[in-house]
Amino acid sequence: MSIVIGSQNPAKIAAVKDVFAQDEVMAADAPSQVSDQPFSDAETRLGAINRAFNALKSASGEIAIGLEGGIMYVDNELYLCNWGALVTRNNNIFTASGARILLPVEIADELKKGMELGDVMDAYAKKQDVRKKEGAIGIFTNERISRQDMFVHVVQLLRGQWEYWEET
Ligand SMILES: O=P(O)(O)OP(=O)(O)OP(=O)(O)OC[C@H]1O[C@@H](n2cnc3c(O)ncnc32)[C@H](O)[C@@H]1O
Ligand SMILES: [Mg+2]
């Protein structure tokens, strides 16, 4: 089977390859059609769905996966949130969210000013491309859960739902 993932981010591609190890995985640029930094569950989830549909349009995969990172308020505090969507050629959509952790106040303050989390994390950790590697979730969990690990769980949730409802 062939699967297309709507991103060139290596952490996202590696997560899909991990869960679909027996299949052909292709990466395609796919716009999320939401803000660069989604600010709610609803917006982040929509970004994942849009990426999946746009990826399926642009490539030849049988199914497509969109993974989107965002942040969301719980009361006045900001949490990391991530969403995934799997779409099929017959337009069925499966969605799932990933683990969430609280962001420290100094990170949240920068995000409220309009900065993107990827850029804030690079400055905070004095590293480059944190978003393509361990991610904010990796940094703030002492690297027990990397961005790839978190997305692997999301993709398992997508694959499992798709198998339950569509396969056999
Ligand atoms: O190339 P794409 O697929 O766009 O990958 P991305 O790293 O930009 O990831 P998203 O667009 O899905 O995430 C939206 C924003 O949130 C940032 N972000 C989300 N989760 C993150 C994490 O765990 N670590 C660092 N940045 C993160 C990301 O860099 C973007 O600024
Ligand atoms: Mg992005």
Which pair of structure tokens corresponds to residue 166?
């569509």
For residue 168, how many other CB atoms are within 10 A of its CB? 4
SS3 for 54? Answer: helix
Query: What CATH number is associated with residue 46?
Result: 3.90.950.10
| Amino acid at residue number 165 | W
User: 1: CA distance to ligand 1 center in Å?
Assistant: 27
The answer to whether position 133 is within a domain reads no
How many Cα neighbours within 13 Å face the side chain of 142? 0
The answer to whether position 121 is within a domain reads no
ipTM: 0.93
pLDDT score recorded for residue 167: 74
Ligand nearest to the CA of 54: 1
Tell me which residue range forms the domain holding 34.
2-102+145-166
What's the number of domains the chain is made of?
1
Cα distance from N-terminal residue to C-terminal residue, the chain: 15
Ligand 1 pocket member 137 (CB < 6 A)? yes
The answer to whether position 90 is within a domain reads yes
Q: pLDDT band at 59, cuts 50/70/90?
A: confident
The answer to whether position 6 is within a domain reads yes
Q: Which of 43, 131, 144, 146 to mutate to test the pocket of ligand 1 (most atoms within 8 A of CB)?
A: 131
Provide the whole-model pTM. Answer: 0.96
